[in-house]
Amino acid sequence: MTETTAPFEPQPLGDRYFQDPLRVFARMREQSPVTSVITPEGQRAWLITRYEDVRKALADPRLSKDWRKLRSPGFVPDPSVGFLMAHMLNADPPDHTRLRRLVQKAFTPGRVAALRPRIEAITASLLDAMAAGVGSGSGSGSDGVVDLITAFAFPLPMTVICELLGIPDGDREEFKTWSQVILSSTATFDEYRAAGGAMYAYFTRLLADKRAAPADDLLSALITARDSGDSLDEPELLAMIFLLLVAGHETTVNLIATGTLALLTHPSELSRLRADPSLLPGAIEELLRYANPLNHATDRYAPEPLEVGGVIIPAGEPVLVVTSSANRDPARFPDPDRLDLGRDASGHVAFGHGIHYCVGAPLARLEGEIAFGALLSGFPGLSLAVDPAALRWRPSSLIHGLETLPVRLR
């Protein structure tokens, strides 16, 4: 039978959600699997939480990614933040197809495999610095406690994506701050606009420098595509850089950090992996399923009313497809809250599904494999330096990531 509304009044998502989203989603999945909420940003949105519904929704062409279709004709956002939106994750075909094709070839498994020696070298140098107690930035303390995020989980994917794009180092800490504001659900609009404006100015300068001195990197290739006329306009070029840089590090940071937390709080699984490193590729899939670097996929919209799981979602309201909940759905994964590095976790939706399936998945998998392999073999005594209950999660609706992860190396 089709219901016309969700059974609950929209529930506000707040700090309790940030700190334990999976508990909130588990209740919805059981009691009201398609439900409306008030997001931490104060907006009404619809959440889809069961695995079957999630897979279907991610592949459903009636769910649009192009928010511009909902705006009145002629709506022009402020360029300093508008450029943050003109990327492929906010586009439907044919724009999406064109934008994605421009970068997809840089991320094929073959192209990514060629990056292995460089990723291994970056990993080794970060871990050496961490062990020597100098860390990266403020990651290491004199008491033997290290923030694994500052010293390792952040700089590894950030360095890799910057090198791939051809972005010089030096500005990465600043970029981290802007990116965290853009993805925060509690930043004010002024803070958001200031961070967007700073990124806009930074990328504009970067492009001018790159045009003056092109190199063998992805940014130069994208500029050539744009300047040859028919593929990218200037806002799309800026938005592409923004998307690749943010998507290229914000997620993998959390695979490494939250995945490490999962291992350190499941000592028997950790010992199992240390004893049999051949489990590593499968373990990465299970860590993606279990640790869920993103709470949900990015916004979608139904231009027409849409029935999902017996509930009618009204036209125009944002729809959040909750990939982390799908990955814990007992109807798909038996005993889903158990970390089991030997399980077959294939079919997880941590990288999404359908035409927007993560372009960077081969890179993220390779970074994860190298990072966990080196961390576990290099630090046999690695342990948490705080009670897990004291850890804080970032106040972001989208990103499921720790603020810090203090560990002892020996």
In the complex, the residues that contact ligand HEM under the rule CB under 6 A are: 88-89, 100, 161, 243-244, 247-248, 251-252, 255, 293-294, 297-298, 323, 350-352, 356, 358-360, 363-364
What totals of helices (H) and strands (E) does the chain contain, helices first? Answer: 17, 10
Strands 406-408 and 383-384: antiparallel
Dihedral class, residue 145 (left if φ above 0, else alpha if ψ from -120 to 50, else beta): beta
Among residues 171, 127, 115, 175, the alpha carbon closest in space to that of 151 is found at: 127
140/178 with CB nearer ligand HEM: 178
Helix (H) or strand (E) holding 11: strand 11-12
Ramachandran angles phi, psi of 25, nearest 5°: -70, -35
Distance (Å, whole) CA 90 – CA 68: 9
Q: Whole-number minimum distance, CB 300 to ligand HEM, in Å?
A: 7
User: Counting every residue, how long is the chain?
Assistant: 410
Residues 6+ apart with CB under 8 A from 356: 58, 65, 88, 89, 96, 297, 298
Q: Whole-number minimum distance, CB 114 to ligand HEM, in Å?
A: 15
Q: Whole-number minimum distance, CB 55 to ligand HEM, in Å?
A: 12
Q: Whole-number minimum distance, CB 380 to ligand HEM, in Å?
A: 25
54/409 with CB nearer ligand HEM: 54
245/409 with CB nearer ligand HEM: 245
Q: Whole-number minimum distance, CB 76 to ligand HEM, in Å?
A: 23
28/243 with CB nearer ligand HEM: 243
Which amino acid is present at 61? P
Q: Are 404 and 27 in contact (CB under 8 A)?
A: no
Q: Are 70 and 301 in contact (CB under 8 A)?
A: yes
Tokens of 168: 């010089």
Distance (Å, whole) CA 81 – CA 69: 18
Q: Whole-number minimum distance, CB 116 to ligand HEM, in Å?
A: 14
46/409 with CB nearer ligand HEM: 46
Q: Whole-number minimum distance, CB 157 to ligand HEM, in Å?
A: 6
Q: How many Cβ atoms from other residues are within 10 Å of residue 363's Cβ?
A: 23
Q: Whole-number minimum distance, CB 78 to ligand HEM, in Å?
A: 23
Q: Whole-number minimum distance, CB 12 to ligand HEM, in Å?
A: 23
Distance (Å, whole) CA 10 – CA 5: 11
Report CA 410 to chain centroid distance, whole Å. 30
Report which residue's Cβ sits closest to ligand HEM: 360
255/339 with CB nearer ligand HEM: 255
Ramachandran angles phi, psi of 332, nearest 5°: -115, -40
140/252 with CB nearer ligand HEM: 252
80/298 with CB nearer ligand HEM: 298
Q: What are the start-end ranges of the H helices in 87-152?
A: 95-104, 109-113, 116-131, 148
68/100 with CB nearer ligand HEM: 100
Q: Whole-number minimum distance, CB 372 to ligand HEM, in Å?
A: 12
C-alpha separations of 153 from 239, 357, 362, 372, 389 in Å: 25, 23, 18, 10, 20
293/409 with CB nearer ligand HEM: 293
